[in-house]
Structure formats: structure tokens, C-alpha cells
Structure 1
């Protein structure tokens, strides 16, 4: 039997990402975001939703660029810490011993410890209530080479132990149970 609950945001799991922003070292900041996702494949677009009172909100709005840095199980403490501390009061890169790296296209820094960094340029900002949605063009993706399959060149991101967020808690992915299309794949004859 199911219960009715008041309307809420219950779509889980979500990636727990670190969004880095700022156009120069004194301005660099990191904010933890779970309200993020894909908007479009062609052209590649994504979004993040950020509360206007967050320190990073003004930085992103000013520069119109940010980087979505995927996180891992090893980055769980820093991911949580960067979400509950303000960049007004803390140097998040320094205090969490995260390394700001140079992006290929945007001015915002990437996080070197992240296995995948998505460089984004803001296309539109939509005020929705508690959060503003930054819809962005993906202008470049930086992948850690040690997660590339040497034979196929395919990114094996699951090997990095990605961190996900589920209703106030962080989890790693766990065991693989299938792949896209496996439910309709033709079975090989094993005779």
C-alpha cells in the first residue's frame, strides 16, 4: 500500500557533483550540487540548480561559466563539506586539499581529483523559486586517462566509484546488474 505525501523532490539517486567556478584564483569556489543533469544531447547541454543565496550563485551569474566535476567515493568527505560550508568564509580548494586545474575552454577551474570534468557555458538562467536553474552548453569534457579502456578508448567511469546522493545520504554505485539494451539483446547460441 502506498501513502500520499506532500509534493517534493524525490527523484533519486542523483550524482553528487562539485561545481567549480570563478575566473581567477582569488574568486575560485566550489559548491556541492545534486540538482544537476542532462538537458539535451545535440547540442550537448546540462543544468545545475543553485539557491540564489549561495556564494557560488553570484560567481556563476557574473562569469556565466562553471565546471561540473563528478565525484567519487574517495571524494565523499570533501563533497559533503563543500556543500555545508560557504566560500565566503572558507577556501574550499585549500581546506579540502583539492587541486584547481586549468580548463581547456572556460576560465573556471576544474578539480584535478575528479575523474570527469564538464566545462559549461551558461546559456540561460531560469528563476524557479528556491533555486535558479543554470542551463548550459557543454563546451568541453576532460576525462582522467586512467579510466579510459586501452583497447576501445571507452570511458569506464564506473571504475572510479562515482558518488551518488539519495534523499540526504551518499552512496557508491554498487554492483553492475546490466547495460543499456541488455533486456532486448539477442542471445548467442551456445551449442
Structure 2
């Protein structure tokens, strides 16, 4: 039996990411976003949805650039803290002892401790209601070589222990169950 609830956002789990923005060290800010995802492969595009009352909102609108920094279990406390504290009251990089690094294609900083930093340039802002969606083109990706398998050349993000958000709570990612296409893969003859 299923229960009917009022319409709501129940698509979980979602990535819990730290978004960095700002043009100068004095303006740099971090905030936590779970309303984020991939929109297109070619050109590579993604989005973040942000409430207009957030401290970073006018920075995003003015600068038109940001970085999506993937988080890990080790970054869980900082990820939560940056989501409940305002950048108008705190320097979040300093408070959480995170390192603002140099992005290669945007003015916003990367988070050096993040395993993947996705540099984004805003293409469009779509007002949706409680949140506005910042549709952005991915202009560069920085990935920590700690997770690059030297034998296969494969980037093994699962080794970083990614952090996800599920209806108000944070979790690590569970065990690998398969890979893309494994359900239809032909069995190898022995």
C-alpha cells in the first residue's frame, strides 16, 4: 500500500556539494546545495538552484560564474555548516579551514580539499518559485589525481567516499552494485 502526500521534492539521493563564488578573496563565499545536477553532455551543462535571499545570490548574478565542489564523507561537517551559516556573517573558508584555490577558467575559487571542482559559467537564470535555477556551461573540471588509477587511467571517485543528501540527512555512498550497461552485458566465455 502507498500513501498519498502533497506534491513535494522526493527525488533522492542528491549530491551534497559546496558551491564557491566571488571575484576576490574578500568576497569569496561557500554555500551548500543539493538542488544540482547534469543537464547536457555536449556542451557540458549543469545547474544549481538557489533561493534569491541567499547571501551568494547577488554574487552569482553579478559575476555569472561559480564552482561546484564535490564533497566527501570527510567534508560532511563543513558541508552542513556552510549550508546553515551565512557568508555575510562568516568567512566560511577560514571557519571550516578550507583552502580557496585557483580556478583555471572562472574567477570563483575552487575548494582544494574537494576531489572534483567543476568550473561553471552561467548561461541563463530561470525563476522557478522558491528557487532560481542557474543553468551553466561547464568550462573546466579539476580532479584530484589522488583518485586517478595509474594502471587503468580511470578516475575512481568512489575512493573519495562521496557525500549524498537524503531528505534532510547526509549519507556516504554504499557498495557498488554494477556498472553502466552491466544488465545487458554478454557473459564472457570461459
TM-score (norm 2): 0.99
Detail structure 1 runs of 4+ shifted over 3 Å in the superposition: none
Match of 2:48 in 1: 48
Match of 1:35 in 2: 35
Q: Does 1:170 align with 2:164?
A: no
Match of 1:75 in 2: 75
Other structure's SS at 2:56 match:
helix
Other structure's SS at 1:81 match:
helix
Other structure's SS at 1:119 match:
strand
> Aligned partners of 2:75, 2:112: CA distance in 1, in Å?
11
Match of 1:5 in 2: 5
Q: After the TM superposition, which residues 82-121 of structure 1 pair with which residues of structure 2 at under 5 Å, given as runs?
A: 82-121=82-121
> Aligned partners of 2:105, 2:189: CA distance in 1, in Å?
49
> Aligned partners of 2:60, 2:152: CA distance in 1, in Å?
36
Other structure's SS at 2:61 match:
helix
> Aligned partners of 1:38, 1:161: CA distance in 2, in Å?
20
- Deviation digits for residues 139-174 of structure 1 (CA, Å, limit 9, x no counterpart): 000000010111222210011000000000000001
TM-score (norm 1): 0.98
Match of 2:18 in 1: 18
Match of 1:184 in 2: 184
Match of 1:63 in 2: 63
Q: Does 1:124 align with 2:124?
A: yes
Unaligned runs of 5+ in 1: none
Other structure's SS at 2:120 match:
strand
Unaligned runs of 5+ in 2: none
Match of 1:149 in 2: 149
Other structure's SS at 2:181 match:
coil
CA RMSD of aligned residues (A): 0.5
Q: How many positions carry a matched residue from both structures?
A: 190
